[in-house]
Structure 1
Amino acid sequence: MLYFLKHKLVLLATPKTGSTALEQALAPLADMVLQGDPRIKHCTFQRYKWRMEKFIQIFEDEPPQTAALIRHPEDWLGSWFRFRHGSWLNGTTRSTRGLSFDQFVDGYLAEPQPAFAAVGQQARFLTHPKTGETVTHLYRYDAMSEFVAFLGQRLATTITLGRLNVSPEKELRLDPALRSRLEQRYAEDYALYDMALDKHPG
């Protein structure tokens, strides 16, 4: 999470949406940087509203606007599946080595989820469970250039992103029946993605 006091903006780091590259490019400009441990770096919208916004309002009366990215749910799971296929997780319960993408998604749909498929949920990350409120400026991951243009304009800077923490390449196919179950079970994620911006307004 990055906070820019002068520009009245908080950038939330949705997992698997290029947050490491955004952090590296923008952290030098930020007045507050939450990084390192994933529980801190990936501060959820709910936790931000609960604690961090109140802290910021010690210095600024008006709360800042928020911004974040959301990835298409199937593509987001694909990134997690590829990431957990990496050698650094070999022999652990979180590894997806030896599994198909179908098995990974089936695990994600299970209750309880096996360790390899316990990756959270974008709608829970980006939405306050009691109020239904979400971030002010929500862009689709596949509209990254538009999101970067928005940030560049808002922060009055030129932004160049590097490729960091990229999941290994791996062709993925999902059984249509599993896709249907995923769309039904996580309808709120698909709805949030559908309402997200894919271009810079104005």
Structure 2
Amino acid sequence: MLVFIEKRLVLLATPKTGSTALHSALAPHADMAFRNLPQVKHMSLRRYMRFVAPLVAQYTDKPMETCALIRAPEDWLGSWYRYRQRDAIAATPRSTRGMDFDSFVGAYLSKPPPPPAAVGVQSRFLSGPRGEGGVDTLFRYEAMEAFCLWLSRRLDLPLELKRENVSPGGGGTPELSPAMRARLQAERAACFRLHEQAQA
């Protein structure tokens, strides 16, 4: 998460939406940069509002605008699935090796999800306390170019991203069975709806 007090902007780092590249490019210009430790770097909107917003309010009496990216739910889960197949965590409980994509998504939808599929929920990450409110400006991850142009104008800074922290395997999102896709759409309807409403 990056905070730009003078520009009245807070950039939330939704996991698996290019946040590492955005941080690398913009952190030197931020007044506050929350990075490295995942729980800190990927602070949700509600945690920002509870813990950081009161601190920011000590330095400005102007309202801050929050912004973020959201990824298409199936694509987002595909990125997590590939990311957790990397060699560095192959021997840990978080690895998805030996698990097909349908099984991963089924595990993700279970309560509670097991370690390989415990990756959070985008709609919860981007909503305020008790699920109320939400991020002020939300772009689709697929519209990264438009989001970068918006950020560049909003911050009055040139912005050029490098590819960083990319999930292994490339090749796009693995295929879900029709039944599992329907289950995902039903049980994560809020995520699909939020993605549909985001700027493209």
Shorter chain as denominator, the TM-score bin is over 0.9
- Amino acid in the other structure paired with 1:178: M
Q: C-alpha separation between the residues in 2 aligned to 1:131 and 1:100?
A: 32
Give the superposition deviation at 1:130: 2.0
Give the superposition deviation at 1:131: 5.3
- Asked if residue 79 in structure 1 is aligned to residue 79 in structure 2, the reply is yes
Q: Are 1:53 and 1:63, in contact at CA under 8 Å, matched by a contact in 2? A: no
TM-score normalized by structure 1? 0.95
Aligned position for 1:133: 133
Q: C-alpha separation between the residues in 2 aligned to 1:186 and 1:131?
A: 14
Aligned position for 1:22: 22
CA RMSD of aligned residues (A): 1.0
Aligned position for 1:178: 180
Q: C-alpha separation between the residues in 2 aligned to 1:64 and 1:23?
A: 19
Any unmatched runs of 5+ in structure 1?
none
Runs of 4+ in 1 over 2 A off after TM superposition: none
Give the superposition deviation at 1:110: 1.5
Q: C-alpha separation between the residues in 2 aligned to 1:6 and 1:111?
A: 42
Q: C-alpha separation between the residues in 2 aligned to 1:41 and 1:115?
A: 20
Q: C-alpha separation between the residues in 1 aligned to 2:110 and 2:177?
A: 16
Alignment of 1:1-202 (within 5 A): 1-130=1-130, 132-171=132-171, 172-198=174-200
- 3-state DSSP class of the match of 1:130? helix
Give the superposition deviation at 1:117: 0.6
Q: C-alpha separation between the residues in 2 aligned to 1:195 and 1:137?
A: 11
Q: C-alpha separation between the residues in 2 aligned to 1:118 and 1:131?
A: 20
Give the superposition deviation at 1:170: 5.0
Deviation digits for residues 33-92 of structure 1, max 9, x if unmatched?
Answer: 111101110110001111211110001112310110000000000000000000011111
Q: C-alpha separation between the residues in 2 aligned to 1:14 and 1:175?
A: 26
Aligned-residue sequence identity (percent) comes to 47
Give the superposition deviation at 1:169: 2.0
Q: Are 1:56 and 1:63, in contact at CA under 8 Å, matched by a contact in 2? A: no
- Amino acid in the other structure paired with 1:20: T
- 3-state DSSP class of the match of 2:130? coil
TM-score normalized by structure 2? 0.96
Q: Are 1:21 and 1:162, in contact at CA under 8 Å, matched by a contact in 2? A: yes
Q: Are 1:123 and 1:189, in contact at CA under 8 Å, matched by a contact in 2? A: yes
Q: C-alpha separation between the residues in 1 aligned to 2:21 and 2:170?
A: 21
- Amino acid in the other structure paired with 2:61: D
Q: C-alpha separation between the residues in 1 aligned to 2:135 and 2:79?
A: 22
**Number of residue pairs aligned between Structure 1 and Structure 2:** 198
Q: C-alpha separation between the residues in 1 aligned to 2:175 and 2:197?
A: 25
